[in-house]
Amino acid sequence: MEKYGLIGYPLRHSFSIGYFNEKFKSEGIDAEYVNFEIPSINNFMEVIEENPNLCGLNVTIPYKEQVIPFLDELDRDTAKIGAVNVIKIIRQPKGKVKLVGYNSDIIGFSQSIQPLLQPHHKKALILGTGGASKAVYHGLKNLGIESVFVSRTHKADNMLTYEELTPEIMAEHTIIVNTTPVGMFPKVDFCPNIPYNLVTPNHLLYDLLYNPNVTLFMKKGEAQGAVVKNGLEMLLLQAFAAWEIWHK
């Protein structure tokens, strides 16, 4: 029996284990998917060594960046992003193992947002600077869209603070993507601190969160006539992509 799994800490909100085990059951695939809740990335190689039938892993916070030094290879987009959420485990002769890192977030996000894009969507604001924000940045770049990161503090040149979101910047950047956890269940009464009064029907507000189904960020966008979307489809698409990566 093949084994797949997820590494992260903590793993209270794991979509993958339910999705993949249901897939295996419904399609008659002789495999199982398990959670590996490891308190330190230093436990990563133990997971590989103690599970000889392990064929692939998903990676979630806080290890998307920390796992990279343990890998033998990264695909091109993943190397640019600097964050991994899929690992293909290639078993070689004499017990050797090759670990290749991929990022299916970039695939899921790009495929999810592309049908919503209009000719006036030329520039984007990316709220947050974590691993997911990097996948969003490169996904948008591949779609021909310029992006600027927004953070609570000014950390780099290609970055604005929330206080710097002027009417001019809001009018110019008609895509706003929330990659932060602000607004996720149970703290559903919170949202990123952007000037929602400057959001227009030309804007597209995309929230990587999907619990709740409609976040306060999305509600405030809708109230201004903006197109809104949550991250559930992205989650499904990146799971499809992970399965394809493990089997290519």
Q: What are phi and psi of 82, to 5 degrees?
A: 80, 25
The pLDDT value given to residue 210: 93
Q: Could you give the 3-state DSSP secondary structure of residue 218?
A: helix
pLDDT attached to residue 231:
96
Separation CA 31–CA 224 (nearest Å) = 47
CATH 3.40.50.720 positions along the chain are 104-229
pLDDT in tens, 99-119: 999 999 999 999 999 999 999
104-229 CATH pick, 3.40.640.10, 3.40.50.720, 3.40.50.300, 3.30.460.10: 3.40.50.720
CB contact set of 114 (below 8 Å; sequence gap of 6+)? 143
Residues 6+ apart with CB under 8 A from 84: 59, 64, 65, 67, 68, 71, 74, 78, 101, 102, 103
pLDDT value for 12:
77
DSSP string spanning 18-80? HHHHHHHHHHT-SEEEEEEE-SSGGGHHHHHHH-TTEEEEEE-TT-TTTTGGG-SEE-HHHHH
Name the average pLDDT for the chain: 95
Q: What percent of the chain has pLDDT over 90?
A: 89
Is the pLDDT assigned to residue 158 strictly greater than 90?
no
* pLDDT, mean of residues 55-73: 95
Task: Return residue ranges of the chain for CATH 3.40.50.10860.
Answer: 1-101
Asked if pLDDT for residue 77 goes beyond 80, the answer is yes
pLDDT at position 149, please? 96
Please check the confidence at residue 14 and state whether its pLDDT lies above 90: no
CB 84 within 8 A of CB 67: yes
pLDDT digits (tens, 9 = 90+) for 204-217: 999 999 999 999 99
pLDDT score, position 132: 87
Q: What are phi and psi of 149, to 5 degrees?
A: -80, 145
Average pLDDT over residues 158-184: 96
> Taking residues 18-47, what's their average pLDDT?
97
Task: Please identify every residue annotated as catalytic.
Answer: 64
- Residue 242 pLDDT more than 90? yes
Q: Is the pLDDT score of 131 beyond 80? A: no
- Please say if the pLDDT value at position 71 is more than 80: yes
Residue 195: predicted pLDDT: 98
The CATH number corresponding to 1-101 among 3.40.50.10860, 3.10.20.310, 3.30.2290.10, 3.40.50.9100 equals: 3.40.50.10860
Going across the sheet that includes 31-37, the strands are 31-37, 2-8, 54-59, 86-91, 97-102, 73-74
Q: Helix (H, G, I), strand (E, B), or coil: what is residue 86? A: strand
Contact assessment for residue 85 and residue 60, using Cβ atoms and an 8 Å cutoff: yes
Where do runs of H (alpha helix) occur along the chain? 15-27, 44-50, 76-81, 104-113, 131-142, 167-172, 216-223, 232-247
Locus of tokens 């894009």 = 117
Structure confidence at residue 44 as a pLDDT band (50, 70, 90): very high
Lowest mean pLDDT among 11-15, 32-36, 129-133, 161-165: 11-15
Q: Which helix (H) or strand (E) holds 97?
A: strand 97-102
